[in-house]
Structure 1
Amino acid sequence: MSYEPARPVGRLLLTPQDKDVAARVRRLRRLGLGARAEPAFDAFADRLAEVTAVPYSMVNFIDENRQFFAGLHTPDGGDLDGGLGGELGGGPAVGRYMARDYGFCPHVVVRRKALVLEDVCDYPRFAGNPVVDEIGVRSYLGAPLIDHTGIVLGTVCAVDIEPRPWGRAGLEIIKSMAAELVEQIQLREGGGLPEG
């Protein structure tokens, strides 16, 4: 597969319309996902941060109103109860929850494919997102979590406050990690993965 970073465009892209949200919410509820933090997902986010050498990484489930970081890695290992903004750039507190119009994961969910933003400021469609100025995000690497039913449950992502040259290696890492997590989630249906 070829490496294709997001291409700059000349207009701001609003949060994309998510036609699959109702099916995703039903699937997340059936799997018991997206309502609470889980140690297994936090451990996965820790490993993703280590592999990608970033200060922040998330396992993110998205419903009709918000994003929920069921797995979260921060530099201090905290839960971010005080807010992601305070951690990154002193902006508004978002904790484990974030509005759907913040960040880049909603774009990954709708696109159904990985998104590589080496410097979000190079892309007008993403540079205007609130996480850039309000929270301090400069670099993003994310991939969708597509389960065996074909539904995109959410994303895994790595985030930095500095530009990052992810390259093809970064793309392959995030896609591989997403596939690994999907396998773990699918075990949940068969009773193989303990919840929480």
Structure 2
Amino acid sequence: MTTPAIQPDHERRAELLHALGLTAPDPKLDEFAVRLSLAAAVPYAMVNIFGTHQQFFGLATPRGGELPTVGRSMPLDHGYCPEVARRRSALVLPSVYVAPRFASNPVADQIGIRSYAGAPLIHEDIVLGTVCFVGRESRPRSEGRAMLALIKSHRNRVLDFIHRRAGYLPR
């Protein structure tokens, strides 16, 4: 699966990222990712910000184990998060192989992704990035609603944190 790169609103997105203080990886966002990883019982979770490429400003990845490590960036057309941005809504895949459209993905193959949940970070109608988690085991379809509720609640917590830190009061 290849998703078109996220280019619309690039300049406005860059302005908002700067205004919201989202210009570099952040230990506080790492903490959000770790909490999400633990809540989802998966090895990987991210707070993904879209610039000229995907950047993980919050990252939970296994350390010192036998699982592959994940860097803090990847191309805009890799993974499932660009699809979440395009859709502007959450995407839950208890098993990435059930839907042929999502089965073929360089990132899935690289680190062995079998399940995914992601939700967009939207501010002033611009998709800034996503919050997501990935697992190395498929989950039963019956877990889809719980995965959706979990990813949305963590997305809301991340947005609240970003807004509070920037002194932003929603209109």
- Say yes or no: TM over 0.5: yes
Query: Which residue of structure 1 lines up, in the alignment, with residue 150 of structure 2?
Result: 173
Given candidates 56, 81, 86, the residue that maps to 1:105 is: 81
Q: How far apart, in 2, do the equivalents of 1:125 and 1:191 lie?
A: 38
**SS where residue 97 of structure 2 aligns?**
helix
Q: How far apart, in 2, do the equivalents of 1:153 and 1:174 lie?
A: 16
Query: Which residue of structure 2 lines up, in the alignment, with residue 126 of structure 1?
Result: 102
Indicate if the aligned counterparts of 2:61 and 2:70 stay in contact, CA closer than 8 A. no
Q: How far apart, in 2, do the equivalents of 1:43 and 1:103 lie?
A: 22
Mark the CA change 1:21 to 1:127 in structure 2 (over 3 Å): closer, same or farther. Answer: farther
**Count of equivalent residues:** 167
Indicate if the aligned counterparts of 2:47 and 2:57 stay in contact, CA closer than 8 A. yes
Report the TM-score, using the length of structure 1 for normalisation: 0.76
Indicate if the aligned counterparts of 1:13 and 1:125 stay in contact, CA closer than 8 A. no
Given candidates 20, 26, 29, the residue that maps to 2:9 is: 20
Q: CA deviation at 1:150?
A: 2.1
Indicate if the aligned counterparts of 2:3 and 2:82 stay in contact, CA closer than 8 A. no
Q: How far apart, in 1, do the equivalents of 2:163 and 2:5 lie?
A: 27
Mark the CA change 1:106 to 1:185 in structure 2 (over 3 Å): closer, same or farther. Answer: same
**One-letter identity of the residue aligned with 2:83:** H
Unaligned runs of 5+ in 2: none
- State whether structure 2 residue 3 is matched by structure 1 residue 51: no
Given candidates 98, 111, 119, the residue that maps to 1:143 is: 119
- State whether structure 2 residue 49 is matched by structure 1 residue 73: no
Q: How far apart, in 2, do the equivalents of 1:176 and 1:102 lie?
A: 25
Unaligned runs of 5+ in 1: 1-11, 79-85
Q: CA deviation at 1:16?
A: 5.7
**SS where residue 109 of structure 2 aligns?**
helix
Report the TM-score, using the length of structure 2 for normalisation: 0.87
Q: How far apart, in 2, do the equivalents of 1:104 and 1:21 lie?
A: 19
CA RMSD of the aligned region, Å?
2.3
Identity %: 49
Structure 1 residues 64-102: Cα deviation after superposition (integer angstroms, max 9, x where no partner): x31000111112289xxxxxxx843xxxx8610111111
Query: Which residue of structure 2 lines up, in the alignment, with residue 153 of structure 1?
Result: 128
